[in-house]
Copies of this chain bind each other. A is one copy, B any other.
Amino acid sequence: MRILVVNVNTTETMTHGIGVQAQKAAAPGTEIVALTPRFGAESVEGNFESYLAAVGVMDAVMRYDQPFDAVIQAGYGEHGREGLQELLEVPVVDITEAAASTAMFLGHKYSVVTTLDRAVPLIEDRLKLAGLDARCASVRASGMAVLELETQPERAVEAIVEQAAAAVTNDHAEVICLGCGGMAELEQKVRERTGVPVVDGVAAAVTIAESLVRLGLKTSKVRTYAPPRPKRITGFPLTGL
């Protein structure tokens, strides 16, 4: 089985990291292909960039010319998942939803710890639309920008661990979802400090995508995610569809 894992930003090192993380979570026999959009922002931290990413991810997936069995959109709180679901029959899994859905099997309430404060409403909105917000205790920001996770990993770990601990103590979270890129040590440190299970969205999404494929389940095409109707698309990377 081949799963496309699409980064939402154009930073190749991040794509590489996500691919490694995904492959680690994958079952034997699952091939992970990590894609980077041709255009868009080097990091996605708001609505403008997220809308670019929505189209950039669709473009990246439609240009991929080999068969694949599922797609993972690897951005926390981003737009675009519904568009992919219209374009494809194979399952599309968003890591924000994958993490929340997984966390809900592990504790009564979960919290998300993310990067900048400005990303919080985007994540809250995504969880609300997905109907996965009822057991969300809080979405907390570490104050670290996406790229700082790479450039200042120690400070980032500390800031994230601190918010995770606050979520458990103050917001009664029983599970933490990491709403930001994967540093290998992050999961372990958060778990050690808080004593609660820690869910990484990319890993969760990989197992969900694999499960859907193995069960032969595909996106429903009867209404919301029916294929786009044939029509004229003008001057756009995706025109060729």
- Residues of chain A having any CB pair with chain B under 8 Å: 10, 25, 27, 38-43, 45-52, 54-56, 58, 79-80, 82-83, 85-87, 91-93, 97, 101-102, 104-109, 117-118, 120-122, 125, 128-135, 145, 168, 172, 174-175, 194-197, 199, 203-204, 207-208, 210-212, 214-215, 217-226, 228-229, 231-236, 238
Give A205 Cβ to nearest chain B Cβ, in Å: 10
Residues of the B chain whose Cβ atoms lie less than 8 Å from the Cβ of A118:
223-224, 226
Indicate if the CB atoms of A222 and B196 lie closer than 8 Å: yes
- State in angstroms the CA–CA spacing of A52 and B199 once bound together: 32
Q: When the two chains form the complex, which single residue of B25, B42, B121, B215 contacts A214, counting CB atoms closer than 8 Å?
A: B25
Tell me the complex Cα distance, A105–B207, Å: 13
A51 to B200, CA, bound (A): 27
- Are A52 and B226 CB-contacts (below 8 A) given A106-B218, A134-B131? no
Contact of A48 among B41, B79, B194, B228 (CB under 8 A): B228
